[in-house]
Structure 1
Amino acid sequence: MSTAKPINVYSIPELNQALDEALPSIFARLNYERSYGLLDTKLYIGYSIAVVAGLSFFLDKKFERAEIVVYQKFLVGAYFVLSLMFWYFSRFIEKGTVYVGKKRDTKDEIYVKTKFENNEPLYLVELIQKKKGSNTKKELKAQLKVNKVFNESGYLQNEGLFKWFSEQHDVLITKKNE
C-alpha cells in the first residue's frame, strides 16, 4: 500500500512531511490514540499573542495616544511575556515532538521526535515511552534509510514503514527503564 501521490525523494522537506504525516496511522495500528495536549497548549499561547496584538491595534485606532499609553505598555509587556512563553515551550518542552500518543489499554504515553540532519536521507527517530503516574521512561533512538520505505517512483510504502516502526516499538517495550 502506498500514498496517493508520489513525492520527490531527493527533497528532505518532502520526505520529512510525508513520513511525519504517516505517524498517526502507524501508531493507531500499534494501539495508540493521538493526544493533542502539546499542540493545544502551543495554540492557546499563539492565539493569546494574536489577541493581545489585535487589542493593541484596536486601542491604537480608536483612541488618542495620551488615553492609552498605560494600556499599551501593559499590552506590550503581555506580548513580550507570551512570546517568551511560546519560544520556551517550543524550544524546551515540545523539543521537536511530532507525535504524542496514549496506549488505549494501559494509558502509557509515547512521544515521537523526528528529524533529518545534514541533508542526508536518514530519518532520525527518537521514541520515548513514559509510564503514566510514575517518572519512569524508556528512550530509543533509531535511523531509517528512506530508500527502504519509498520506491523509485516516490511512493511511500506504508507496510514497510509500519513494519519498521513496529520493530522499533518492540525494542523500546523490551528495554529496561532508565
Structure 2
Amino acid sequence: MGMKGRRNEEEALQDYVGLIARHQWALRGFILLLMPGSSDVDDVLQETNIVLWQKRKRFKAGTNFLAWATTIARFQVMRYRGIASRVGALPFSDEFVEDMAEELVPQDSKQPIFAALDQCMGKLGEKQRELLMVRYTPGKSIKEHAERLGTSAEVLRVTLHRVRQALKQCIENTLEGQST
C-alpha cells in the first residue's frame, strides 16, 4: 500500500475513533434507559465499544453512526440480559426492553433529539459532564462527589441545575435549527 493509501486509512480510522468518542454519552444514556437501576451500564457500554471497534470495517462513512451504534448497544444489552436471567437478576421483561429499544433507537427522521443531546453533551466541559455522570449513575452520590471536590452538595445541586438548563436550551436551539 502506498503512502497516500496508508494516510487515507489512518484518517478514516481517526474519524471512526472520533465518532465513538463523540457518541459515548448518547450510547451510555441509551443503555441506561434500557437498564434502569443496573450497576452494569458501564460494563455494557465497554462491551459495546469493543464490538464497535471489532466491526469498524462494516461501518459505512456518511451514514448514521449513532443509529448503527445503538443497534449494537441494543444487542449488547440483550446479551447481558441473557446472562443476568440465568442468575435471576432482571427487573424488567425482555418484551419491555425490546419495546423501549424500538422506541428509543435514534433514526434520522425518528429521533433527532438523541443527535441533539449528543452534540450538546460534547459542548459541555469535563467537570459538567462528570457531574451529570455522578448524578445519573446508580450507586454514585452528589454528597460523596462534593466531599471529594471539597465543596458542598448544595453547590453541586445548583451547578447541576444550571448544567441541565443549559443542556435543555442547547437541545431546543439545536432542534429549532434543524426544523428551519
TM-score, normalized by length of structure 1?
A: 0.27
If asked which structure has higher relative contact order (CA below 8 Å, sep 6+), I would say: 1
Higher helix share: 2
Greater C-alpha Rg? 1
The answer to which structure has the higher strand fraction is 1
